[in-house]
Amino acid sequence: MSGKTFALKSILAAAAITVSATAFGKDPVSSIIPGTFIRGADVSCLYDIEQKGIVFKDIDGTEKDMLTILRDHGANWIRLRVWVNPEASQGSVYNHGMCTIEKAAAIGKRAKELDMKILLALHYSDTWATPEYQRKPAAWDKFIRERLITEIGRYSRECMVTMKNAGATPDMVQIGNEINNGILLKDSKNQPTKINGKIGSDNFADLVNSAISEIKGCAPETEIMLHFSKGGDKETISMCLEGIKKINDYDCIGLSWYPFYRNNKTMKELGNVIRFITSKGKKCVIAETSFPWTCDDNEENHDNVRNAVWYLGDDSSMLQVYDNLIEVPGFAYGSHQGKKIIKPSKFNQQKFMEEIKKTVHQNGGSGFFYWGGEWIFTDSQDWKQGSTWENQALFDLNHNALPVLDSFKN
């Protein structure tokens, strides 16, 4: 996920509606979801958040370690995003959310002590990597083809060794982030380069295979994920699968799917894509998803709602996206300009994740990761270190765990 911000305030304010927790009932598939089903959360900002003295609280208000709260509510995996040298991009508005391999190792060690598993997401960039922004680390800008192939392998092994030495060997490694178009496509200043890893090219295959080879050489049992955005778009994912045919050894396809993205299609279409992937003998995991629990935020410069409208283009497109979910029973609905919409609320957030869990399980998928669950507001004086995701976190503005965590239970 990039540093782009999303949310839903100005067009949904009129949709305020209350609902009790009893409206949702018992998840009918909970009893048949296996214990190995991935119920994870990305916690890449946790190290920096804790350094600011933030204390997380469970639903009952008890102060606890954040990873313990996740584990106690049923989460069994964490996802850790890693950048090569985030300090190199400090002048960028995208430098918040920095996570180095050293920080990931520190968090990962704690997760392993709680018997949780780890997905290590290597971005191969100094900052956010998305389909539109696959920027090389600054230190790699001038590398020619063979040196780039060697370096991505060396760096991947170095990350594995660091995690392994900390007692946090990853159970799965994600090679790049949302690599629909490829990896290392531009230099660190976002300028085109002659040597790049466009998906489907020999360069792409050689770069990815180099990384996989070094990871497997260090930890043979670690699984490999390839990750794509537009998770509900079968045509897009089909083209991506064509583009990775030269990749020698991977186990899982990870998908990003957010209900408020116009191009992500419906939850039903997401299920169809999951079935399509698993029919080819590969695991499928929702690597990123989320849902807002409020229209409010804690900081003037990070109004997720307003920014979401900017991203989607106009009010009507926002409402059309929410129409994708209105056939699912159990949500609390409101209306805006005569259209039925699902409003952000604590219980709708919980219901949404229950529906994600069902959709993944019923279509043969292996689990999900909630994105930005830890990314709460921390510092109003430093907007670059603030949160652009706090109204979609797993904790409220006072750092109390939200009911959505109960959707992680087996």
197 is a domain residue: yes
How many domains are contained in the chain? 1
* pLDDT tens sequence for the chain (410 residues): 544 443 343 333 333 333 333 333 344 455 578 889 999 999 999 998 998 899 999 999 999 999 999 999 999 999 999 999 988 876 554 455 679 999 999 999 999 999 999 999 999 999 999 999 999 999 999 999 999 999 999 999 999 999 999 999 999 999 999 999 999 999 999 999 888 999 999 999 999 999 999 999 999 999 999 999 999 999 999 999 999 999 999 999 999 998 876 677 888 999 999 999 999 999 999 999 998 887 665 555 444 444 444 444 445 445 555 666 666 677 777 666 666 677 778 988 999 999 999 999 999 999 999 999 998 876 644 544 556 788 889 999 899 999 999 999 98
Q: Which CATH number do you get for residue 111?
A: 3.20.20.80
297 is a domain residue: no
Query: Which pLDDT does position 4 carry in this prediction?
Result: 41
299 is a domain residue: no
Query: Which pLDDT does position 390 carry in this prediction?
Result: 81
Query: Which pLDDT does position 296 carry in this prediction?
Result: 61
Q: What is the 3-state secondary structure (H, E, C) of the chain?
A: CCCCCCCCHHHHHHHCCCCCHHHCCCCCCHHHCCCCCEEEEECCCHHHHHHCCCCEECCCCCEECHHHHHHHCCCCEEEEEECCCHHHHCCCCCCCCCCCHHHHHHHHHHHHHCCCEEEEEECCCCCCCCCCCCECCHHHCCCCHHHHHHHHHHHHHHHHHHHHHCCCCCCEEEECCCCCCEECCECCCCCECCCCEECCCHHHHHHHHHHHHHHHHHCCCCEEEEEECCCCCHHHHHHHHHHCCCCCCCCEEEEECCCCCHHHCCHHHHHHHHHHHHCCCCEEEEEECCCCCCCCCCCHHHCHHHHHHHHHCCHHHHHHHHHCCCCCCCCCEEEECCEEEECCCHHHHHHHHHHHHHHHHHCCCCEEEECCCCCCCCCCCCHHHCCCCHHHCCECCCCEECHHHHHHCC
198 is a domain residue: yes
147 is a domain residue: yes
286 is a domain residue: yes
Query: Which pLDDT does position 391 carry in this prediction?
Result: 81
33 is a domain residue: no
316 is a domain residue: no
Domain that residue 243 falls in: 38-291+346-408
